[in-house]
């Protein structure tokens, strides 16, 4: 269980780190709008910077979303299944669909990055465009983080199949509400109704 939570912490840390890209992206877009429409002097770098930042933010937040069970899922029917059936179904889906896709993304993404790095590829969208190979490195990095978080999710499924309940996640809280004693509540209401009114 410690290993699962440690992997969750890695995914959470990476998600929080790359979440700062939204602030930089906001500044870049705001600066470009100001320069273009107020100063009449658009920049040559804002377009490349903005799509690289947005793509990085989008891809590097995938492991964070998986760790916090925040991905959109079509569980309209499966959420009514018994817990062990849910775990078995999720385990099968991870093995049949998730891992083949993630491993292909890791393998071909690394190839995509390596070719770009060897060529010292630059963006062709703007004159004197920035190097694009660091942006392409995000693809295999994202796939590696997702593959690591996938191990935690597969382990959760296996533990659920064994013990009949889902292991906790980072940020899960236990319900601490005290159940109301209905009998005591009814007696108090009856006694209050017997009290003479002024």
* Of 145 and 76, more confident: 145
Q: What is the mean pLDDT of the chain?
A: 86
End-to-end CA distance of the chain: 63
Q: Dig out the tokens for 190 from the structure.
A: 């009856």
Pick from 64, 16, 55: which is nearest to 138 by CA?
A: 55
What is the reported pLDDT for 127? Answer: 77
| Cα 38 to chain centroid, rounded | 37
User: pLDDT category, 193, cuts 50, 70, 90?
Assistant: low
- Return the higher-pLDDT residue of 158 and 2: 158
């Amino acid at each position: 269980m410690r290993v699962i939570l440690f992997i969750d912490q890695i995914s959470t840390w990476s998600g929080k780190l790359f979440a700062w890209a939204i602030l930089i992206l906001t500044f870049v877009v705001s600066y470009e709008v100001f320069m273009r429409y107020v100063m009449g002097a658009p920049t040559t770098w804002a377009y490349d910077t903005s799509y690289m930042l947005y793509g990085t933010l989008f891809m590097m937040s995938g492991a964070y979303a998986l760790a916090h069970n925040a991905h959109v899922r079509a569980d309209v029917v499966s959420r009514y299944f018994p817990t062990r059936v849910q775990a078995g179904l999720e385990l099968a889906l991870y093995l049949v669909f998730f891992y083949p896709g993630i491993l292909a993304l890791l393998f071909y993404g690394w190839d995509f990055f390596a070719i770009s790095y060897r060529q010292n590829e630059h963006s062709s969208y703007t004159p004197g465009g920035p190097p694009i190979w660091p942006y392409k490195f995000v693809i295999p990095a994202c796939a590696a983080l997702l593959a690591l978080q996938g191990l935690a999710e597969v382990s959760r499924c296996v533990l659920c199949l064994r013990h009949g309940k889902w292991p906790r996640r980072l940020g899960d809280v236990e319900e601490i509400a005290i159940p109301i004693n209905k009998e005591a509540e009814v007696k108090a209401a009856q006694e209050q109704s017997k009290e003479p009114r002024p």
